[in-house]
Amino acid sequence: MIQHMIAVLDLGSPENTRIAREIRALGVYSEIHPHDIAPDALKAMQGIRGIILNGGENRVVDGKCVDVDPAIYDLGIPILAVDHSSPGHPADYPAWPEEDSEVLDQFLHTCKAERNWNMDNFIADQIELLRKQIGQRKVLLALSGGVDSSVVAALLLKAVGDRLTCVHVNHGLLRKGEPEQVVRVFRKEMGANLIYVDAVDRFLDKLAGVSDPEQKRKIIGKEFIRVFEEEARKLEGIELLGQGTIYPDIVESGTKTQKSIKSHHNVGGLPEDLKFELVEPLKQLFKDEVRACGKALGLPDDMVYRQPFPGPGLGVRCLGAITRDRLEIVRESDQILREEFKNAGLQGKVWQYFTVVPDFKSVGVRDGKRTFDYPVILRAVNTVDAMTASVEQVDWPVLSRITERILREVPGCNRVLYDLSPKPVATIEWE
């Protein structure tokens, strides 16, 4: 199926992602491209029906106001030129009206763009593309159990079945029940070739005594690569590597008018002699579309709607040098927090919530005796882009119930605190 699409050219607007998402919400596929893309490259895009010149406050680069190649106007493709500049920034395009969704809808009519962008069509197209790319070859996928890798696994299973091999590495830093769920869903329910690697002791031994957050991250990342490499070398005939790259990974790598937010990486840093061709079936999708794709593929809700989780896992929520007792306090208290937020109807409302255990103790009293145990810190925030975040104002009865359960059910802690700090000045995670 030929997918009609709209190209959004970045001329310094901070709204590129929102505009692209709104176009997709109206049923037409969209992509973001740099302002200096060649006219021939635009014309060659399959299914292109319209171009949006999206100006904004970052349009001045090195003292010059950037613009598109004038030849773009001669391509015969409908163009909408707009500007998101604040008052006082240079703008030679009309300002975006408040009713911009209506403007986009009218533009799509002008472009005669077919509104066939939906998950059913995406899945059908990707299965066909994956089968063409993979053929009779085999694919290897690092399956963390997070949303992106889980959806990639489900999509590849639909496309190539047992030619996919998944490797799930349990490094001991996952949330409660996650390793068991990965095995149950993919091996038992979906029939995937799943290699489960219990590397808990290996990781925790490497991390023993390491308190610096960046050093912890490096150890976890390097050790994961080593474990994955060891498993990959045991397998024969695998030529392709599946990755959970999604569209924000590409967009956030930056354009000519926008600084990079983060580098584009997934299972990066593999040895050069492990030469794989990449398979990235989700690289067109925004995060909410990845979740919709997972739902359409039959993944369970608690996997599809799993919260953002740092690469080092609970390793950066067990502050300072990781100890097994504090790691279990983090894991058990996190489970209670998630259960009570779900019971209170906050599961889909709050963007991210978790617990943190610092590496110091405080005095307390239990059963009439003095204790010296750890505090548990609750964190719950809302954000759109993770660049800023506000604190969720959780009702007092909910906080009281969470506190009571943690103090009663989790050994080794005697205080529960709620973090009221927004980003900035604080960050979302503690490490």
Question: Binding-site residues for ATP, please?
Answer: 144-150
Residue ranges of the annotated binding site are 144-150
Name 225's Cβ contacts closer than 8 Å, sequence gap at least 6. Answer: 267, 269, 270
Q: How far, in Å, are 275, 279, 281, 339, 358 from residue 237 at the CA level?
A: 12, 16, 21, 43, 46
Q: How far, in Å, are 20, 45, 46, 73, 190 from residue 40 at the CA level?
A: 22, 9, 12, 12, 44
Instruction: For helices 200-207 and 213-234, give the axis angle rounded to 10 degrees.
Output: 150
Which residue matches tokens 């979740």? 291
Written as six digits, the tokens of 204 are: 């925790």
d(CA 249, CA 21): 15
